[in-house]
A and B are shown apart, each in its own frame.
Chain A
Amino acid sequence: MIEYILGHFNYWLIITVMMVGLYTLISRANLMKKLAGLAMFQTAVILFYVSLGKVTGGTVPIVDDQFTIYSNPLPQVLMLTAIVVGVATTALGFALVIRIKEAYDTVEEYEIQKMDSDS
């Protein structure tokens, strides 16, 4: 049992990060904090992919005569794309938050909802 837990420690960490992110996303009313949670959630997925591609004892996937075992480069390449998507999402989210702040003068979700239902 202990061996199982320790053997998968990276997955436990990833699950923790993911859940912290998701919890922040759901529980906070502040839009900036929501975005921070979202970014954590996405980062956890990136870590998940990268640890999928890790081969025990493998080196960085660059061809060289000295090495025979390489980690799988594909998940890393995929995650480069996912990071770009994450950056774009976060940037767009910040842009929206700034415009919400200008339009409503607050970034608290409850206050915004109250203003919306009043008008």
Chain B
Amino acid sequence: MGNDLVLRVVSKWLSPIIILFAFYVQFHGDYSPGGGFQAGVIFSSAILLYALTFGIDAAVKLIPEKALRLCASFGVLLYAGVGVLSMLKGGNFLNYSVLVEDPLLGQHIGIIVIELGVGITVASVMILLFFTFSRRVSPE
């Protein structure tokens, strides 16, 4: 499909918008509907669109699978790390209030970092799933 002009132009225009929207959903998640899972899926859909138009190999060149694996692990570690940090600060696991002096600010920081971890993991796992499946089904 990589030769179709319309598809190439449209996906070139759409991908950044989708990614921007993903970041909006990600970082606005503590005030409005949204959050890490949704943002991760939206972000991965941009990569999926890219892969569908320009082919899997181009997409793998864009984000190597090894980096995706690392990211998937890193996101979980970020999530658990915040929880452990709040334990080290004297609170219970995942108690964001103790992260900084002001409990309300702590809640904000905590949820943003946690959702970032979730977002990174979901995005990389989704892309990884797509890569592995499409490789496996049609070996080229």
Contacts and interface: CB of A to CB of B under 8 A. Distances in A.
B79 interface: no
Nearest to B31: A62
A62 B32 contact: yes
**What is the interface residue range for chain A against chain B?**
10 to 19
Interface of A: 60, 62, 80, 83-84, 91, 94-95, 98, 102
A98 B37 contact: no
B33 A60 contact: yes
Interface residues of B, number: 10
Classify the interface of chain B: helix, strand, loop or mixed.
helix
Interface in B27-53: 31-33, 35, 37
16 contacts: A60-B33, A62-B31, A62-B32, A62-B33, A80-B35, A80-B37, A83-B37, A84-B37, A91-B129, A94-B133, A95-B132, A95-B133, A98-B133, A98-B136, A98-B137, A102-B136
Contacts of B37: 80, 83-84
